[in-house]
Amino acid sequence: AQSVTQPDARVTVSEGASLQLRCKYSSSVTPYLFWYVQYPRQGLQLLLKYYSGDPVVQGVNGFEAEFSKSNSSFHLRKASVHWSDSAVYFCAVTSGGSNAKLTFGKGTKLSVKS
Amino acid sequence: GGIITQTPKFLIGQEGQKLTLKCQQNFNHDTMYWYRQDSGKGLRLIYYSITENDLQKGDLSEGYDASREKKSSFSLTVTSAQKNEMAVFLCASSRDSGNTLYFGEGSRLIVV
């Protein structure tokens, strides 16, 4: 079984500040990990994904995430947020394979104050 | 590029009514999904399909039916709509089940 925990339901930061959104996963095998973003009244869009290799992965719009096997974490970071980053961010995990399901966390709502 | 089209954007029905949501994709993806999104609960998988005419139950399949008659389309039926089922339903597709998902904009179900 696999699961994802996003411990912060809401995060508020000031424009220009740095950001970290936390994600902890549980998986019986080496996971594939994803961060998706959902802007108001839209579907989800992929920010970045980790399959293997370098534990720090770069995504769109200056986002990056770091995979830690020892901590079972995949935290999302951005050095300087913009008001347009306000959205809901979802972490997701799958075991891969031909019939694997993607399990999502409950999401973290990010509000950026200008 | 491609697109996922969900219809209708808003579906209003009465309690006990059978209601159907439709999803079309032009990515030529094999795998399609239906998720339910409730505020504060994230996304929960209802049904998915790894190929035409295949159906796999997700974690929330009770009270729902699905149909994948063509590779490009995947429909979801609420068999007897209840007021506690009001939510946003998201359709997605991927090349295979371990890969990136592409989402539609969602369909909101309203039960009166």
pLDDT in tens, A58-92: 999 999 999 999 999 999 999 999 999 999 999 99
d(CA B5, CA B104): 6
Shortest distance between the Cα of B45 and any Cα of chain A, in A, equals: 8
**Number of folded domains that form chain A:** 1
**Cα dihedral sign, A63-A57-A51-A66:** negative
- Which pLDDT value is given to residue B62? 96
CB contact under 8 A, A43 and B90: yes
Search chain A and give the residue with CA nearest B104: A43
- Which pLDDT value is given to residue B37? 94
Shortest distance between the Cα of B42 and any Cα of chain A, in A, equals: 4
pLDDT in tens, B38-49: 987 889 999 999
CB contact under 8 A, B43 and A42: no
Judge whether residue A18 has pLDDT over 70.
yes
The residues, ordered by sequence, that sit 6+ positions from B19 with a Cβ below 8 Å of its Cβ are B11, B13, B77, B78, B81, B109
Q: What is the CA radius of gyration of chain A?
A: 14
B1 to chain A, any CB pair closer than 8 A? The answer is no
Q: A84: helix, coil or strand?
A: helix
The residues, ordered by sequence, that sit 6+ positions from A18 with a Cβ below 8 Å of its Cβ are A77, A78, A79, A80, A81
Question: Where are the domains positioned within chain B?
Answer: 4-111
Q: Identify the CATH number of the domain in which residue A36 sits.
A: 2.60.40.10
Q: Which fold has domain B4-111?
A: Immunoglobulin-like (2.60.40)
d(CA A71, CA A100): 23
CB distance A59 to A91 below 8 Å: no
CB contact under 8 A, A94 and B98: yes
B48 to chain A, any CB pair closer than 8 A? The answer is yes
pLDDT in tens, B20-68: 999 999 999 999 999 999 987 889 999 999 999 999 999 999 999 999 9
Domain with A24, as residue range(s), is 3-113
Q: Flag the least confident range among A26-40, A96-110, B56-70.
A: A96-110
B41 to chain A, any CB pair closer than 8 A? The answer is yes
CB proximity under 8 Å: B 18-37 to A: 33, 35
